[in-house]
């Protein structure tokens, strides 16, 4: 007689979310401590007295900051979803849908990211024009100060002295966040919310809001939320997390490569976020093409999944 082993029932999705948060706290703490130990070996005990300078982006300690960024990314975003899959007793590849990417769908992801650039620029411009009511002027000033601090820190992280710095930046800013944040948010949070409410669209947009809020950059909230939703729909339509990872990587890698190009041509990095200034119909055309490409991706992914 043949016995078919039933699939193990997953734990409550709300408990999954709590476990993700718990694993993120533990992972961030453990990997953060490892980074501190490494930095102490590099800088000596003076590292602790100059810790605030490093976190502020002091060029002297930029390598130490990058070490902390890399280890924190691994501990906070990559370890938790992997630990959740292990807790569920399921293979990581099956739990998060690591299906082999198809060339057509991967190509469509690339086209989507390129076509959406003007429209995303428009959302950045709109978001940066955010003005709060008079009684919240203090909050608005604080938000602007935090945004300026984040921009200065980003410029320091993107500054390269050699080709090795460029490779490190590509790993730190593009590769690890693409893998970790997609596993954490699309694979972990979005998946659990969808199981909790049986509503993929609610799960996609709630996750996108959380994804944007976690970056604590107020004047980039809308475009980052839309990016998160886009990544979520790529995952939902295809059933494979690879396409969301690819889209995330392309978005971040473009910023790293653009910064590298600007430095090679002696262009100031603080001008990198200045809009190119498309006409209104350029933004409209970008939005229409992006939506059409998403529709094509959905139809193509549906056909591919029927063939599997």
Give the alpha-carbon dihedral of 295, 297, 298, 302, to 10 degrees.
140
Instruction: Give the per-residue pLDDT at 205.
Output: 98
pLDDT digits (tens, 9 = 90+) for 157-180: 888 888 899 999 999 999 999 999
Structure-model confidence comparison of residues 295 and 268, the more confident one: 295
5: confidence class by pLDDT, cuts 50, 70, 90: very low
Tokens 């890399």, located at residue: 70
Mean pLDDT of the chain: 89
| Sequence-ordered list of residues with C-beta below 8 angstroms from that of 164, at least 6 positions apart, any chain | none
pLDDT reading at 155 higher than 90: no
Q: How far, in Å, CA of 308 to CA of 295, rounded?
A: 20
Residue 273 · residue 121 · CB < 8 Å: no
**pLDDT for the residue 270:** 67
User: 122 or 278, which is more confident?
Assistant: 122
pLDDT one-digit tens code per residue, 240-260:
999 999 999 999 999 999 888
Share of the chain above pLDDT 90, in %: 60
Break the chain into its structural domains and give their ranges.
11-93, 96-307
Distance (Å, whole) CA 127 – CA 214: 17
Read off the pTM. 0.91
């Amino acid at each position: 007689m043949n016995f078919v082993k039933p699939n193990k029932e997953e734990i409550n999705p709300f408990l999954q979310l709590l476990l993700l948060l718990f694993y993120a706290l533990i992972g961030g703490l453990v990997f953060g401590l490892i980074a501190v130990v490494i930095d102490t070996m590099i800088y000596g005990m003076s590292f602790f007295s100059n810790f605030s300078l490093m976190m502020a982006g002091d060029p002297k300690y930029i390598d130490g900051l990058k070490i902390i960024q890399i280890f924190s990314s691994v501990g906070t975003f990559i370890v938790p979803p992997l630990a959740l899959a292990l807790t569920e007793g399921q293979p990581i590849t099956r739990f998060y849908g690591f299906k082999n990417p198809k060339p057509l769908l991967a190509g469509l992801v690339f086209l989507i990211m390129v076509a959406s650039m003007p429209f995303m620029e428009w959302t950045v411009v709109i978001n940066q024009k955010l003005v709060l009511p008079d009684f919240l002027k203090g909050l608005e000033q604080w938000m602007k100060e935090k945004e300026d601090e984040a921009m200065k820190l980003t410029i320091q992280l993107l500054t390269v002295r050699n080709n090795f710095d460029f490779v490190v930046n590509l790993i730190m800013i593009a590769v690890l966040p693409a893998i970790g944040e997609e596993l954490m948010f699309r694979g972990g949070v979005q998946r659990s919310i969808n199981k909790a409410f049986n509503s993929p669209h609610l799960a996609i947009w709630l996750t996108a809001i959380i994804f944007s809020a976690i970056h604590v950059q107020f004047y980039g909230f809308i475009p980052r939320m839309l990016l998160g939703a886009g990544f979520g729909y790529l995952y939902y339509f295809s059933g494979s997390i690879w396409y969301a990872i690819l889209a995330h990587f392309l978005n971040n890698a473009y910023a790293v490569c653009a910064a590298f190009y600007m430095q090679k041509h002696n262009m100031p990095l603080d001008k990198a976020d200045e809009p190119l200034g498309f006409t209104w119909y350029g933004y409209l055309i970008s939005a229409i093409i992006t939506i059409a490409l998403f529709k094509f991706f959905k139809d193509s992914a549906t056909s591919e999944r029927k063939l599997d």
